[in-house]
Chains A and B, each alone.
Chain A
Amino acid sequence: MSKDQFKTRLQIAKDKLLKKKLYENRKNPASIGTAFKLSTELVSAVAVGTIIGFILDKTFGTKPWLIIIFFFVGVIAGIINVIRSAKNMQK
């Protein structure tokens, strides 16, 4: 391998490294946000689901059923929220 060839290869590798570093730096603040999202995301979705179920139960008079269904839908929504945030962090 000649000296020039090595130099260009080194330059390419350096550029790649720099690009990667810049990319990671750019991504960093957003991941902190999503990381903090995880903790409360699950709970709040369950709470919202239960509240919706409670309100619908009151309006339709189907006392225990809708609150149970919406509780579980809320749990699913919470889990999906967490998975989505985790995926965003990995991207």
Chain B
Amino acid sequence: MAANPMTQFEVYRIGPEIKVGAFDISFTNASLFMVVSSLAILLIFNLGSKKNSLIPNKVQLLAELSYAFISKMIGDTAGTKARPYFALIFSLFMFVLFCNMFGMIPYTFTVTSHIIVTFMLAAFIFVGVTIIGFIKHGFGYLKLFVPSGVPGILLPLIVVIEVISYLSRPISLSVRLFANMMAGHTMMKVFGGFVVSLGIVGGWLPLSFSVALTGLEILVAFLQAYVFAILTCIYLNDALNLHH
């Protein structure tokens, strides 16, 4: 067992090395866990929607509850106009949730504790939402950067500030998820290390901390997925219902 709390985030190659030009696209443990969580989502929701019995079994109940949960969330935050984007937000939420939850199983790898994964998700949302905004409102979407009721002298400064705050969205979205996951997992590893080094005499206190932290981490794993989805809804709402 590695003593360094950061070794759990190491990405290593599984199987042969594949190179396309200068890019290394080999299959890594990170890719493995992304595939595993995607397959788990597919499996659960296929099983859940296979036979729609009136009295649902556990899997069907899980699938239906999560559907209702996301559906309600979209309705609350982005309104009825956001209905067509249900599939996108649902898959995003499920993917982040399953990656976080798979990371909670010992000896697994947490995909979302890497900034590049979360940043790609956030950048994808950011570009998508911007495109949706331009399709819906044309160049009128740029009015998002010009708040009403601002004196003319201040306008250039305000526009720069608005643009910066718009560009900071994907960064705040990705950093939040990545930092929460990485900090939590590092802390769990550190407390685990304390248990080993303090031995049978003093190890009980950090052990109890570890148990409490595991509970907290499961909560954080769910909450971060939820926040990721809800912020996507809020950004989508900004793009669909332009008001400033």
Contacts and interface: CB of A to CB of B under 8 A. Distances in A.
B167 interface: yes
B172 to A, nearest CB: 4
B61 to A, nearest CB: 21
Given A48-B167, A52-B164, A73-B161, A41 B231 contact: no
Interface string B162-205: 10110111011001100100000000000000000000000000
A62 to B, nearest CB: 16
User: Which range holds the interface residue count of chain B?
Assistant: 20 to 34
Interface in A54-85: 70, 73-74, 76-78, 80-81
A33 B227 contact: yes
A48 B168 contact: yes
A40 interface: yes
A2 interface: no
A48, A49, A76 pick with most chain B CB within 10 angstroms: A48
B168 A37 contact: no
Contacts of A30: 76-77, 230, 234
A26 interface: yes
B104 interface: no
A33 B74 CA distance: 12
Interface string A26-58: 110110111011011101110111001000000
B167 to A, nearest CB: 5
B146 interface: no
Contacts of A77: 161-162, 164-165, 168
B160 interface: yes
A33 B165 contact: no
Contact of A29 (B76, B161, B165, B168): B76
B73 interface: yes
B175 A48 contact: no
Nearest to A85: B234
Contacts of B73: 29
Contacts of B164: 45, 48-49, 52, 70, 73-74, 77
B234 A44 contact: no
A32 B227 contact: yes
Given A44-B175, A73-B160, A80-B161, A32 B167 contact: no
A44 B227 contact: no
A47 B227 contact: no
Contacts of A43: 172, 175
A29 B167 contact: no
25 contacts: A29-B73, A29-B230, A30-B230, A32-B227, A33-B230, A33-B231, A33-B233, A33-B234, A36-B176, A36-B223, A36-B227, A37-B231, A41-B168, A44-B169, A44-B171, A44-B175, A45-B164, A45-B165, A45-B172, A47-B171, A49-B164, A73-B157, A73-B160, A73-B164, A80-B161
Give 3 nearest A-B pairs by CB, closest first.
A44-B172, A33-B230, A44-B171
Interface of B: 73, 76-77, 157, 160-162, 164-165, 167-169, 171-172, 175-176, 179, 223, 226-227, 230-231, 233-234
